[in-house]
Amino acid sequence: MSNTKEQVWYSGDWKTYGSNLYPPYNGLKILAVSTYETTENPSIKEKLMSIDLTITDFTYDVNGISSTFTVSKTGMWYEIPFPMNNTKKFTVSSVNGGGPGVVRIVEEPSGIFLFIQFRYGLESMEREEIGYIMRFTLE
């Protein structure tokens, strides 16, 4: 049997009161839906199977431009895919420039975390986001 849990993270420049009248309209929103499987082992009730991520960039579009993908292995870097068939600008990119931003699942003694490493926003106002943003609990 599987269970899902949802978490949301907002970038530091997120405005809860609405959007600007011109770009940047708002910051980033990351939605994580984690899927867990129950186990037969009584000491481990659930095991994390995967995390479906939706990264929505509100820099150039008041409704947001989303990139959706799944991560499942710890310690592996996953590139954030550029949304296909979109005429608006998705600004999430590598902190080194040029390539896609990345995320990974990190397993520590204190839990399982989502680590992000990317930059986004208008060229004149780019922001970097590097670090742990979510903890996934297994119960």
Q: HEC string of 70-106?
A: EECCECCCEECCCCCCCCCCCCCECCCCCCCCEEEEE
Asked if residue 15 has pLDDT above 90, the reply is no
CA-to-CA separations, 30 to 42, 43, 54, 91, 130, in angstroms, rounded: 33, 31, 6, 14, 14
Task: Tell me the whole-structure pTM to 2 decimals.
Answer: 0.91
Give pLDDT, residue 46: 83
Name the average pLDDT for the chain.
90
- The tokens describing 122, both together, are 């208008």
Instruction: State pLDDT tens for residues 77-108.
Output: 999 999 987 667 899 999 987 789 999 999 99
Average pLDDT over residues 12-37: 89
In angstroms, the CA 62 to CA 15 distance is 12
Locate the domains of the chain by residue range.
2-136
Percent share of the chain, pLDDT over 70: 97
Query: How large is the average pLDDT for residues 4-15?
Result: 92
Would you place residue 113 in the very low, low, confident or very high pLDDT band (cuts 50, 70, 90)?
A: very high
